[in-house]
Amino acid sequence: MKYKKRLLEEKLRKLGTVFPAIVLTGARQVGKSTLFKYLLPGAQQVIFDPTIDIGNARKDPELFLNHLQLPAILDEIQYAPELLSVIKRRIDEKKIPGQYWITGSQNLNVIKNISESLAGRAAVLSLYPMTLAERYDEASSWVVDYFKNPQQFLTKASTRIEQLLASVIWRGGYPGLIDLANELQSDALSSYLSTYIERDVRLLSEVSDLQEFSRFVQLVANLTAQEIHFTQLGREIGVSPQTAQRWLNLLKSTYQWIELPAYSGNTIKRISMKRKGYFIDTGLACHLMHISTPNALLGHPKLGALFETYVVNDILRQLPLLHGNPAIYHWRSHAGAEVDLLLEMDNMYYPIEIKCKTRPTKNDLRGIQAFRQTYPQLKLAPGLLICAIDKITPFADDCYAMPFDMLSSSYDMI
């Protein structure tokens, strides 16, 4: 498979000139090793294993590191945590940037060990399934342009790659599946799930019934883009709300699930405070929903939720490119008005609504309008309605409809 550019390439290169260790976390098969090998051609790579002590790294970390040629790529570091304290000592002795390029696919274990052993010595980033731009070899981010100058960005039209919306969502973003024949997708994802549950889940947590956990994963996929009710989750498969919450945390720690907190402001009593959850990859979610083809997705009742899931994930994967750390929320009033995605940085709020429609109307902007009315004191950027249209289209009340497949940072004037 031809290498495809990733959005984090340039940021990782810069971090490698400053930090002695660079840590890249993320789910299995999202391309962590491939990205590092692209950035460090010819570097020594070691892939650790949960059962085999590769190079006696666990038994004798000093000897292992003595024979390691730097810079080196150390894959799946959670299987050799004994190395981290020795790496820390060597970094303190020789603070040379870009020596250890480390990956891990179990968030809780990796981050805990890194925090304890390499605090201040390692830069930590997360890699997720490919964005739409990355799939088509364009490592560009419309989100960066939007944050820089929303008004200027929204007065321009987009260039776009013609792809069926359903095909993009159904395929998902795992790099190894991008060029796979449609008829092989289900088999590949079944294998991925089996590996994930048998290795990551079994090693991370004491799940007494892996088959029951598999049913839980399938249920969660069907609840993507919804507010989270632990009682409902547990009731559906016959486990306690506490078990449902523990299992959902397990999905989060292995990069299969994300949650957005609710924005409250000063009107806590008037809004819902439940978190909203999203499956990380829509291709895997479609598989778990037994959606066999892109055409089947077009008529599926979950199309809207999967479209929202795809867009939210695509936006969140671009945020690390910003010079700042935006806060991320969703908002929902008890009356039912909602804003799917609310970003905040430098005291500016960016409301985003997402609809799987080719002909949006002003009615689709009710959530953004309700948010403005609820918080008139906030400084708000122009509202976005992301949908399946061809070009950025202005609406009244400082809102714009925008194509979901915005790929390039170069635009032609309308």
pLDDT band at 410 (very low <50, low <70, confident <90, very high): very low
86 pLDDT tier (thresholds 50, 70, 90): very high
> Is there a single domain that holds both residue 69 and residue 158?
no
B/e letters for 346-381, b = 16+ CB within 10 Å, e = fewer, are eeebbbbbbbbeeebeeebbebbbbbbebbeeeebb
Distance CA(332)–CA(215), nearest Å, equals: 29
Answer yes or no: is 20 within a domain: yes
Asked if residue 116 is part of any domain, the answer here is yes
**Is pLDDT at 238 greater than 60 in this prediction?**
yes
Examine residue 2 and state whether it is found in any structural domain, yes or no: no
Q: Residue 409: what pLDDT?
A: 40
CA distance 207 to 190: 20
Please tell me the pTM assigned to this model: 0.86
Residue 264 shares a structural domain with residue 383 = yes
26 and 174 co-located in one domain: no
Q: Tokens at residue 250, please?
A: 């397990």
**Residues 140 and 102 occupy one common structural domain:** no
Closest-CA residue to 380 (of 331, 334, 346) = 346
Q: Say if residue 105 is in the same domain as residue 154.
A: no
Same domain, 157 and 275: yes
Q: Residue 83 maps to which CATH number?
A: 3.40.50.300
Lowest mean pLDDT of 157-166, 210-219, 367-376, name the range.
Answer: 157-166
Residues 145 and 116 grouped into a single domain: no
pLDDT value, residue 274 = 87
CA Rg value for the chain: 22
Q: What average pLDDT does this structure show over 286-292? A: 96
pLDDT, averaged across the chain: 87
Q: What is the pLDDT, as a whole number, of residue 271?
A: 57
Greater pLDDT, 239 or 47: 47
Q: What are phi and psi of 395, to 5 degrees?
A: -115, 175
| Structural domain contains residue 178 | yes
Look at residues 68, 97, 126 and tell me which one is the last residue of a structural domain: 126
Distance CA 360, CA 402 (A): 10
Helices (H), 44-106: 61-66, 82-93
pLDDT in tens, 8-65: 999 999 999 999 999 999 998 999 999 999 999 999 999 999 889 999 999 999 999 9
Return d(Cα 322, Cα 141) in angstroms, integer: 9
Task: Please tell me the predicted confidence (pLDDT) of residue 160.
Answer: 42
For residue 215, give its domain range: 136-413
Residue 230 pLDDT: 84
Q: Are 307 and 169 in contact (CB under 8 A)?
A: yes
Q: Count CB atoms within 10 A of the CB of residue 157.
A: 14
Residues 94 and 144 in one domain: no
Looking at residue 43, its pLDDT comes to: 96
Task: Among 126, 148, 182, give the residue marking a domain's end.
Answer: 126
CA angle centred on 69, ends 67 and 75, rounded to 5°: 95
Count: domains in the chain: 2
Is residue 104 located within the same domain as residue 162?
Answer: no
Q: Is residue 352 in a domain?
A: yes
DSSP string, 357-373: -SS--GGGGHHHHHHHH
- One domain, residues 118 and 154: no
Instruction: Quote the pLDDT of residue 276.
Output: 95
Confidence of residue 107 (pLDDT cuts 50, 70, 90): low
Q: How confident is the model at residue 407 (pLDDT cuts 50, 70, 90)?
A: low
pLDDT average, residue stretch 92-101: 93
In this predicted structure, what is the pLDDT of residue 224?
96
- Of 71, 101, 126, the residue at which a domain comes to its end is 126
Give the model confidence (pLDDT) of 146-175 as tens digits. 888 887 777 764 444 334 689 999 999 999
What integer pLDDT is reported at residue 412 of this predicted model? Answer: 33
pLDDT digit string, tens, across residues 257-278: 999 999 987 654 445 688 999 9
Beta bridge partners of 384: 352, 400
Residue 271 lies in a domain: yes
| Tens digit of each residue's pLDDT (9 = 90 or more) over 379-392 | 999 999 999 988 88
